[in-house]
């Protein structure tokens, strides 16, 4: 964009955005409550804190619109768990503020997932966090853990707003402040800046999402992001299984597989019985396709350790599986050498497919006829 066009755009933005902003209705709805608890809206400072967050959110309408486009992925399940456990429906607005409804969100303090658990707290609530699996990214498991945690905080502090503050800053810090300040009422406490605006932030998200017309938002025009029609599947793995191969056998890219299964963060699916999500179109005969790969890849021949091998063909390819039917992920030129471990191979119709394994467990297969002896 040239300088003249840039100036015109800035003038248009300066002309129209303030007008649209001034037409928004920031009035808190009458008889407004949060988590079934009345708010002290007769206090000017409480009104100011909520109004501030409303205005800050609506200055970033792109982010607000993303809430509307993403919420169909999160709210139905969260609402079902809240109802089943007789918990306030308003708790569903916490992940809006925590992660903007993104299961891959990571904070500067290494909190992860839609509910932004740090690793230590996640493990306390039975979430698996390691190099291969991070269940903080799993909507179902992290939601169940987060609501257990919030319920325990509410049982201690007897106010949902204070429970949320403890969720944000930690229950030990809130206990200290209760003793120091002689109150367990969040709205009467002096707290660090982030926690002081944390609950007003969540309240503002509720007001916006429940009253989009007040802020010039037409949810019908904000089409929800599409997701592939998918189904859960439970598979048992007796050893590490390459995630890229499982993605291919499931009919999606590696990125697509990770998008459907954000908690599987390693290059391999670890041993055990695992539940994951795959496109419905590729559910049929998935186990048979996995078994075919296992049979090929499992028919290994052991070789003595040898110096790094090199490509002797004019052109060679690394594939994700032992056979020409598997996708290529790297094109190799003559003379390319490998420092990776290549001591094992699988035999296919009289030819060997060498398996190259990297230190992190990743690897690929290459036809032995393309390598020096």
Q: Which residues are catalytic?
A: 98
Could you give phi then psi for residue 338, rounded to 5 degrees? -125, 130
Of 259, 249, 243, 357, residue with least CA distance to 300: 357
Of 88, 171, 165, residue with least CA distance to 124: 171
What's the chain's length in residues?
A: 373
Q: Cα–Cα distance between 225 and 125 in angstroms, integer?
A: 31
What one-character-per-residue DSSP string does 71-115 give? HHHHHHHHHHHHHHTT--GGGGGHHHHHHSS-TT-B-TT--BTTT
Give the 3-state secondary structure of residue 269.
Answer: strand
The encoded tokens of residue 282 equal 């590729």
Q: Cα–Cα distance between 372 and 109 in angstroms, integer?
A: 49
Element (H, E) at 357: strand 351-357
């Amino acid at each position: 964009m040239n300088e003249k066009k840039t100036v015109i755009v800035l003038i248009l933005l300066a002309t129209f955005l303030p007008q649209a902003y001034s037409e928004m209705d920031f009035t808190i709805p009458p008889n407004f409550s949060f988590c079934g608890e009345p708010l002290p809206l007769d206090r000017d400072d409480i009104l100011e804190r909520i109004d501030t967050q409303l205005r800050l959110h609506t200055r970033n309408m792109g982010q607000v619109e993303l809430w509307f486009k993403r919420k169909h992925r999160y709210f139905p399940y969260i609402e079902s768990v809240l109802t089943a456990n007789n918990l306030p429906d308003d708790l569903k607005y916490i992940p809006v503020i925590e992660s903007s409804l993104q299961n891959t969100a990571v904070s500067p303090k290494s909190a992860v997932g839609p509910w932004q658990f740090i690793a230590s707290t996640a493990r306390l609530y039975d979430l698996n966090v390691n190099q291969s699996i991070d269940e903080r990214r799993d909507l179902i498991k992290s939601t169940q853990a987060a609501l257990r945690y919030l319920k325990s905080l509410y049982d201690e502090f007897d106010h949902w707003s204070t429970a949320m503050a403890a969720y944000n800053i930690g229950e030990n810090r809130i206990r200290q402040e209760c003793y120091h300040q002689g109150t367990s009422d969040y709205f009467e406490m002096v707290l660090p800046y982030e926690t002081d605006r944390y609950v007003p932030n969540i309240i503002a998200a509720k007001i916006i999402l429940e009253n989009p017309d007040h802020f010039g938002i037409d949810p019908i025009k904000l089409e929800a992001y599409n997701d592939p029609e998918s189904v859960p599947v439970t598979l048992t793995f007796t050893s590490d299984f390459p995630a890229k191969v499982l993605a291919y056998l499931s009919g999606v890219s590696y990125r697509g597989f990770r998008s459907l299964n954000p908690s599987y963060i390693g290059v391999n699916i670890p041993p055990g019985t695992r539940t994951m999500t795959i496109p419905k179109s590729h559910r049929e005969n998935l186990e048979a396709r996995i078994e075919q790969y296992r049979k090929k890849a499992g028919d290994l021949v052991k070789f003595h350790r040898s110096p790094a091998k090199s490509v002797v063909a004019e052109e060679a390819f690394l594939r994700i599986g032992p056979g020409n039917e598997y996708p290529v992920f790297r094109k190799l030129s003559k003379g390319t050498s490998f420092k990776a471990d290549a001591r094992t191979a699988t035999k296919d119709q009289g030819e060997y497919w060498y398996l190259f394994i990297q230190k992190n467990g990743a690897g690929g297969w290459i036809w032995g006829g393309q390598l020096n002896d």
